[in-house]
Structure formats: structure tokens, C-alpha cells
Amino acid sequence: MDTNLTRRRTLQAAGAAALAAGLSSLTATAAHADETADAPAPQLVTYPIPSGAGTQASFKVRVRTAPDGEWQTLSCYAPGTKEINPTTGSGKVWGSSMVYFDFCGPVELEVTHLKGGTTKARVRPDSYGIKPELLGDTLRFTLDEPKDVIVQINDEIFDCLHVITNRVEKHAPSADDPDVLYYGPGLHTVTGNILTVPSGKTVYLAGGAVLKAQIDVKGVEQVTVKGHGVLLAPNSSVGGLRIENSNNCQVDGVIFLGSGIGCGQAENVHVHKTRVFTWGTWGDGYPVYCSKNLTFDGCFARTSDDSFSIYAHRNDFYGDTRNLTIKNCTLWADVAHPIQVGTHGDPDNPDVIENLLIKNVDILDHREPQMNYQGCISLNAGDSNLIRNVRVEDVRVEDFRWGQLLNFRVMFNKTYNTSVGRGIEDVYIKNLTYTGIHANPSLFLGYDADHAINNVTFENLVVNGVVIADSMRKPRWYYTTDTVQWYVNEHVTNLKFLTTAEAQAAAAS
């Protein structure tokens, strides 16, 4: 008997009621839309949380197609959030809230804070410019298109409401497709908690599905993991998606609770609109080792360690890391760095980490008590790594709790390194904006003359509304970095701060 086909039929049957319930919110308000060829009818699809998945009761959340559709009530998933005690080093996990739905819009959300005592509300990222209407303990706001946002009440850090949204899915795979491992609405488990995926297969998590497992994509090619469902880590040691020694893979749309997406010796991987929540120890969201040609586009991370950690050799992974793009992402690191590059490598056969693009990113928070592990974006070359050809463009950093905006170091951290890094070179940072008061001084530290930082250029660096440039008005004995209280040591060469006009003139000359 074809056990896969039997399983698919079972899942279809088990999920039928939940699917019907979820799709019942494909609202009738579509009839109110201007049904022209250029303006598709509004749609809203919500999904019930299956029995057995944890829920949180801090918010009542309703959504409708704007302006007068039928309200749909959303239950809240319960991701954790992590807080490190700087005195003891211990970590406390707080409860938090998350909802998700699909739409083509616009839609209106109504959020009621059930704890009461609401005096202010904020919808982040700030760059979206969403100003909610606050009516007592209830607030309302509109989304014109799918975005991932966080609702904070009274500056509460941990039990926030994370709102995850997608476009209505149009081309879902068939559950009867022999090349699809299909998980319909409902809670699912697999034997041993690990789903191993062969080459050429698609793992599909439908909206309303919760798969409690780790997905292993190892030694294969042409694998896709997609859907609007949830992958839930069974425990602190098993969970998430592991793409290792594999080529030409795609990940799209899945929400990861408890563990993220790890890539080791992976090539040609495209990750789109995934969301990662972690709250355990070593809770990196998107760890990368010895991988090439990777793109992370439109992703969200709230993590209990680095949101992105980009390394060379470690454990059984060998080789350079190159050609990696992080774009259109929103990052919140409750511990460590939103973006960390370079700590681990191979002193016996030195590696290169090169050709990194970080573009159009909102960094919402960074909290790290240890000075050695601070930096919203950190380039830390250790283990004989050479980091080169890095471009950071259009990155907006909101005020964070504890840390540095940037930390660029060629280092020998004896906790994790067996040798000093070779260097950092050719870094271009354009349109980096920080608005806030909590940042510690950023550090730029070469190790010595032979292990240095060379050729770092800032174009249109804006700190609290002020453009920081070598040509700005300041006492002639000041360094430019003195104006923002950053520190640069003597092993950093060819560091420049330009206005956009100066950069354009230099490019034209």
C-alpha cells in the first residue's frame, strides 16, 4: 500500500472541518468591492488554531475587510520571548502573542488589550507610518497590503501582539500530488519528530496546519517547503528546518515557532516571507554556514539569539560563505545581534565570507549585556576569516534596549576562536538611519597592522536626524566619529563619511 497516499487522504479527511471553518471567513464583503479587472474583490481568509497548539489570551483580535466587512475573530498563538538577566546570566521566557491571516485588501484590525490600563499603543516598524486609533483599551488600524507588524501596548516589550499577514493563496498544490507531502489544517506529528524530505519533493503546510516536527533537507536538491501554516518545534533540541549539503531549494511563507531555518553547505537557496520566533538557548533565527547564493527576502525574525548569523566553517561544514542577500526583512533580537557575521571559520584552511548585501531592513530591537556580543550589525572576523565586499543599504534602526549600532572587529575571542581573523575590507554603508538614545558607542577595531579593517565608507549616515559626514561642521581636532561618540582604533584605514552629494560627485569623477 502507498503509505504516503494513505497519509495524505487521512490528512485531507481530518482537516476538512477545520478547512471549512477557516475558509468561512473568505468574506462576503467581496460583493461590495468595485469589481473591475484592475481591482480584484477584497478577500479575507482566517484560520482556526488547531487543538493542541498553545494559545495566549492577552488580546482580543478581530479583522474585517475595510471599511464595513463582517468582523472575524482571531485566536492568538503563544510564541515565547526571551529576557537575559545581566547579573546571573539566566534567561526568563515570557509569553507573547501572534495571529496570522491572508487578505487582499484593505483590511481593518481591532485589537483589545485584555489586561486593561491602556494609555498608549504603537504599531511597528515605525517606517510603515501606522498610527492606530486608540479608544480606551481597544485600538484600530488599517493595512492596505500584507505586512508583518507588532502591536505594543504601554511600551510592553514581551507580551506584544505579532500580526503576520500574507496575500490570499492562489495556487496551492494538490494533496493527491505524489511529489507533495501535504499537511492540511490541524495538528500533525511525524515518527521520531523528524521529517526527512527526498529530492524533488514539496512539503506543503496549508493555512491552519501546525506540523510539530523538524524538517530535514539533507544531501538533496530541488526541495520546496511552503505554505501558510506553522512549523512548531517539538522541543528545545529538535525543530525548525535544516537545509544541509543541498542545492536549489526554496522556502516560502511558513511560520516557524521555537526554531528557525539553518543552512549548512547549501547552495542556491531562496527563502521568501518566512517568519521565525525563538525563545530557547542558542535560538538563532537564520544561521548560515559555508553556503553560497542564498537570498532571504521579506522575512521576519524575533529571536533569543542572533536573528541572522553568517559564518564559515563550524562542526561538519566546510568552505567559504559568499553571495548572500538579506532584503526587505524585519528583525528583533531579544538576545545578541540582529545580524552577526564572521565569528566561526577554519584556521587550518582559512575561509572567506564575501559578497553580502543587506538592503531595506527594519531593525526593531537589540538587547545584549556583553560588550563582546553587541552590534545591531556586527562584522566580527575571527578564526582566520576574511570578511570582504559587504554592502548595507536602506537600513532603519529603531531605538533598542541595550547594545551598539555597529561593531566591526578583527578579533581573537578565545571562547569561540582558535585564531585571529585575517581582516575586514571593502564595506559600503548607504542610508543607514538610527533614531534613539540607548546605543552604546559603536566600535571599529582592527587587531593589529596585519589584521586590520580597511576601506569602510558611509554614505548618508543619519543619527537622530543629523547627517554624519567628514565635511560637517565640527572642531578641526575632532574625528568625525566623535560627533556620534564612536570609537575607531589605529588599525582601521580609509574610513570615510560622505553625504549623498559627495558620494555622487566621487562616483562621477
Q: In this structure, are strands 186-196 and 209-218 parallel, antiparallel, or unpaired?
A: parallel
123-124-125-131 Cα dihedral, nearest 10 degrees: 20
Report the alpha-carbon distance of residue 294 to residue 268 in Å, rounded: 6
CB of 294 closer than 8 Å to CB of 302: no
Question: Which residues contact residue 68 at a Cβ distance below 8 angstroms, ignoring those fewer than 6 apart?
Answer: 29, 32
Q: Please identify which residue in the block is written with the cell numbers 464583503.
A: 29
Question: Which residues contact residue 77 at a Cβ distance below 8 angstroms, ignoring those fewer than 6 apart?
Answer: 49, 53, 54, 55, 56, 97, 98, 99, 100, 230, 257
Q: Please identify which residue in the block is written with the cell numbers 563550524.
A: 314
* 3-state SS assignment for residue 31: helix
Q: Could you report the per-residue pLDDT of 57-74, keeping only the tens digit for each? A: 999 999 999 999 999 999
Report the alpha-carbon distance of residue 403 to residue 436 in Å, rounded: 12
Query: Residue 137 corresponds to which cell in the numbers above?
Result: 483599551
CA atoms within 13 A on the CB side of 180: 18
Spans of the chain, pLDDT less than 50: 1-37
For the entire predicted model, the pTM comes to: 0.93
> What are the angstrom distances between the C-alpha of 310 and each of 111, 290, 292, 385?
37, 9, 11, 12
Report the alpha-carbon distance of residue 124 to residue 132 in Å, rounded: 11
pLDDT reported for residue 10: 43
Q: Please identify which residue in the block is written with the cell numbers 566619529.
A: 481
Give me the phi and psi of 298, to 5 degrees please: 75, 25
Q: Is the dihedral of CA 354, 444, 427, 278 positive or negative?
A: positive
pLDDT reported for residue 492: 98
* 3-state SS assignment for residue 502: helix
